[in-house]
Structures are given as C-alpha cells and as structure tokens.
Structure 1
C-alpha cells in the first residue's frame, strides 16, 4: 500500500476517536481513569513490553495475526482510540509501522512513547556478550527520552516506503535493541507507576538475562559456521545474519528492489534463482508474511536444490513470546547450517 493511502486511512481512523469516546467506549469512565494502558504496534514489541510490565499491566498489541504485514497495516478507529487513550505506546518506528506515527502526530492523546528504531539509531542497548552487569546497562537509559517525535525526526532517514539510506528498520532481530526497548519501557512505566518501579527494573533485568542465552546461541553459529553463505528473500533478518557471522549472497539488485518495494528485474531474479539452483548458499531465510510470486520461486529453487529454508517472520507465532521466538529462530538457523555442513 502507498504511504499516502495509509496516511489517509490513519487520519480517518483518528477522526473517529472522538465519536467512539462519546459512545461510551471501555476506555472511558471514572473507574478506569487511573488505569495504565500500554499499547504496542505489533505483538513482537508487545511481548517485550509485557515481559517488563509483568503482572501489573496487561499490554495490548494491535497487530497479532501471523499473516499480517505491518508495512501495509490499515489502522481502524479502534486502533486509533487505543493509541490515543494509551499511557504508553511501544512501536518499531523507522517507517515500519507508520500508522502509529500518523496517529501520534495527529495530536489526539499524549501518551509516553518508546520507539525501537530511535533507540537503535542512538546506539542504546548493551553488549550482550560483555557480562551481566544489569545496573550499568540500565543506567544508559535513564536520561534517554525514548522514542519521542524529536528523536525520530533527528535520524535523517526517509520514512517513505522501505528506503532508509541503507538502514534496515527490522530492528527486532537486533537483540541489543530489544534490550534497550525493555529498559526504556521500564523507565517509562516507573515514571507512570512509581510504586511498581522496582518490579519493572527487575523484570527488565530478567529479560536481559534471557537475551544473553539467545545471544550465546547466535554466537555459537558464528563460531561453528564462520562466514557461511546464505540467502534471504528480503532483508528482514539481516541483524541476525550479521550477529551470526554469516554472509548474504543475494545480488544487490535483487535485495535493493525488494527492500524498496519494487519488482526485481528479470536479470536480478535469474541471478538469484541460479544462486540457489547452483547451491552456492547453505540456507534460505524466507519471510512467509510477504511472500509473492518471486519469493515463492526462490523458495522452490532452494527446495529443489535441497537447501534448507528457515522461516523468519514479522509477528510472533501463536503462544510464543519474544525470547522463545528468537531462540527458535536461532535454533532453526543453526540446524539448517549443520545439515549443510
């Protein structure tokens, strides 16, 4: 979907917020005035926020369907109302879930925000292989205004489509950014709910510990398969690929076309298909949520050559949290490379 169409839809959704409130929505009423509401754009960031919020707050995720594509998600009036009425909004940013930015920029409501992409660009997050000093890690977030519009606007990257001057917006595959989001959520919730501050900090520290286990598994891939060649149908898991010390062999023309939301040239498609048919890579990372004729052709070529296919997605599978999801993805990638050793 074009950005202008998505923006118009978000504006229309915002226009309905007042109407919903006037009709007596569940978010109004004196009994709920002091209730903290945390809303996340996708269940990926919802899971991270829930890990920090624990039993004190139930986080609402707007995009939960495994088949959904957040790039082209159409915000409903209920989504707009949820964001406007929220105490805290956690979202990806970088143009990925633009509907959230459109609703926030409309001025309807004034929630605190945590933007993952802004944290990524500012270099927040810990080195997950540098030990377990949670206090030092947390202190790096105390003075950062996570995810404000000013922060997002200072990046210098275009939010039109998928072209971010070479910066990949799929930052949930960057474990340090997930860690930064967890600590930023803890900071914001502590400001909104001082009585729960110790709980939020402890939960963020526990999340940090769990991330270490995932990072260790990814590091073991780099150790076992240094510089192993792989291919991606799109650059969704590039941060995982980089952390695992792997080499993406997909031709630049193909990768750039997919990232910019355009059709690859016949030559780029042929070169990528041949890469797979000739078994020049050890695994294909495949996003089933945005599959099309071209990506299905690439998967078919990989399967015909006996190349393992590792599915990487943009939302959580049912019944799985962020840590479990990242662990399973790392395990699947390791298993695929072990098969091809």
Structure 2
C-alpha cells in the first residue's frame, strides 16, 4: 500500500535504473532460446493469461507477483532485465502502465516477440500510442491503460499470444490455438455477468477511488460519477483538492452513487475516508486490485469482481 505523496516514482528515474540494469546484464547468456522457448510477462495478470494459452507446453514467468507492488513505479533489477532481454516472448500491458518493460526492451534492442495489450485495445487503433497521445487530431487523454478489465482486449491478447507461440513453436501451434479458443469461451462467462448488469442497471451511477476498473464500468454500462479531479489525483499519487474531496464525499454520503469501486492496493487516508463515508451511508464497496489476488487465476478474479459489482447494485 502507498501513501498519496510519492509512491509512484518518476519515469526518468526508472529509465536510469533500467539502463544500469541492462548494462549489468548485457554480458549474460546471449539467448535463452538455447535452453528452449521462454515467455516473460510484466505482471501475474498477463502471465496468467499467457499461461492459459501456453498450457503445459511452456512455463510463463511473471516479473511482478506481489500484490503490494505497483507496476507504475516498479524498477527492474538486473535479474529482471536479464529475463526480459533473453525471453523469446514478452507479454505486457503497455500504455505506460508497466514502463519498466518498455525501458528494458528499448535498451536491449532484442529480437524477441512481444504482445502489448494496450496496443490491442479497440481492435488495435492505439498501437504505438501511450495514454494522452493524440491520434488524427484527437487526444486520447480519456483512454485508460488498465486494459485487463477490458475483456475484448484480454481475448485479443490470448489470441496474439497463441499466434506468437505458434510462430516460435510450430509443432504445437494447434495446441496454442485451441487453448486460446477455449479461453475465449471462459472470458464469455465474465461478459455474461457485465451484460446482465447492463440489462438491469444501465446508466446507474457508481464511484471509484481511482479509475482502475474503468472498462468494467463501461461494459456494465454504468456511469462513473466520481469527479475526475479526484480519481486523477489519487492515481497519480497526489492529494486531491479540498473541493474534489468534498464533492466525492458528498457523492457517497448522499448515496448519489450506487456502489464504490475501491482499489485496495493503493489505499491512503483520503481513500480510506471515502470508504468509511460510503459504508456509513450504506453504499456497497466493491474491492478491486491491479494484480491477481493470491490463489485466484484471471478468470476467477474477474468473475468474482463482476459478481461483486452485480451484488452491490442489486442490494439497493
């Protein structure tokens, strides 16, 4: 957990760290392909998706496994940089979320294959962009990089992983493709829950402590009523203005929101106060995280989260 002051370090400092890490690992083994195909993911979220596609043919290594780790500010160690540089395939979130991966890839200039989830958002129209960049004169500042909550993007990642692994390991291509198709069917179960929420509660207002579950609310056709100034400040590790805090507190205390989506991995005094306000007013709290909770795979995690949101809305 972090305080709201300086939890997320500057990208420039991270880049310096990555450059140093790469320098220390440049003389390591030239390629892990000598020992077989290796797959590395930035977080256990994408690691779990990739593992579902790889099945029992390969073992996927996730750099970030700890629930308390924040990918925004994570700095790769020399060992991490070596794993990323030597991997046959790297699967990561992109969009500036897990910048340490991009820094290592750019420093290494390797030839490994990659799957960038953010670049697959909305059918890949954001390829080559990061959040806030412009495209055809339009700024994507509203585009949210937390794309693991966007089921179509996760499905696209699974199939992209299958394509990349099939190219690396043609003998097992059919297995990878079948695994990706089976995964699509499992993802459809999560979509069925959000579709049912939309059918029953379309347009209902909800609040968030920060915009982690943006795509979950979009899929459920809910309205995020939280002041953007509040969620942006929390996400950036800053203190929201007194006016933004007061507006968000009023939103909850007067039950203008039907549920509070609460990121338990980035709690601070401000967000804890909002949770207390919500609970006192009788507004249900839906807990979300940025990495896999212990003991759950991606499908279980997203199913539980969607069901929690459905139950919160139905309880009122």
Structure 1: segments with no counterpart, 5+ residues: 125-146
Q: CA deviation at 1:308?
A: 1.2
Question: Is 1:185 paired with 2:167?
Answer: no
The residue matched to 1:72 in structure 2 has which SS?
A: coil
Q: Within 1, Cα distance between the matches of 2:173 and 2:28?
A: 33
Question: Is 1:14 paired with 2:22?
Answer: yes
What residue is the counterpart of 1:236 in the other structure? Answer: 212
What residue is the counterpart of 1:5 in the other structure? Answer: 13
Q: CA deviation at 1:112?
A: 0.4
What residue is the counterpart of 2:66 in the other structure? Answer: 65
Q: CA deviation at 1:260?
A: 4.5
Q: CA deviation at 1:34?
A: 4.5
Question: Is 1:312 paired with 2:288?
Answer: yes
Structure 2: segments with no counterpart, 5+ residues: 1-8
1:282-310 residue CA offsets vs partner (Å, 9 max, x unmatched): 11001111112211111111111121111
Alignment of 1:120-135 (within 5 A): 120-123=121-124
Q: Within 2, Cα distance between the matches of 1:164 and 1:297?
A: 31
Q: Within 1, Cα distance between the matches of 2:294 and 2:130?
A: 36
Report if aligned partners of 1:14, 1:108 keep a CA contact under 8 Å in 2. no
What residue is the counterpart of 1:138 in the other structure? Answer: none
What residue is the counterpart of 2:173 in the other structure? Answer: 197
Report if aligned partners of 2:89, 2:114 keep a CA contact under 8 Å in 1. yes
Alignment of 1:26-45 (within 5 A): 33-45=34-46
Alignment of 1:139-288 (within 5 A): 151-153=127-129, 157=133, 165-288=141-264
What residue is the counterpart of 2:4 in the other structure? Answer: none
Q: Within 2, Cα distance between the matches of 1:196 and 1:56?
A: 8
Alignment of 1:66-85 (within 5 A): 66-85=67-86
The residue matched to 2:40 in structure 1 has which SS?
A: strand
What residue is the counterpart of 2:113 in the other structure? Answer: 112
Q: Within 2, Cα distance between the matches of 1:93 and 1:164?
A: 15
Question: Is 1:331 paired with 2:286?
Answer: no
The residue matched to 1:16 in structure 2 has which SS?
A: helix
Q: Give aligned pairs, total.
A: 304
Report if aligned partners of 2:115, 2:161 keep a CA contact under 8 Å in 1. yes
With normalisation by structure 1, the TM-score equals 0.84
Q: Within 2, Cα distance between the matches of 1:192 and 1:220?
A: 39
What residue is the counterpart of 1:131 in the other structure? Answer: none
Q: CA deviation at 1:238?
A: 0.6
Q: CA deviation at 1:121?
A: 5.0
Q: CA deviation at 1:261?
A: 4.3
Alignment RMSD (CA, Å): 2.1
1:175-226 residue CA offsets vs partner (Å, 9 max, x unmatched): 0000000000000000000001000000000000111111011101111222
Report if aligned partners of 1:316, 1:322 keep a CA contact under 8 Å in 2. yes
Q: CA deviation at 1:108?
A: 5.0
Q: Within 2, Cα distance between the matches of 1:321 and 1:66?
A: 13
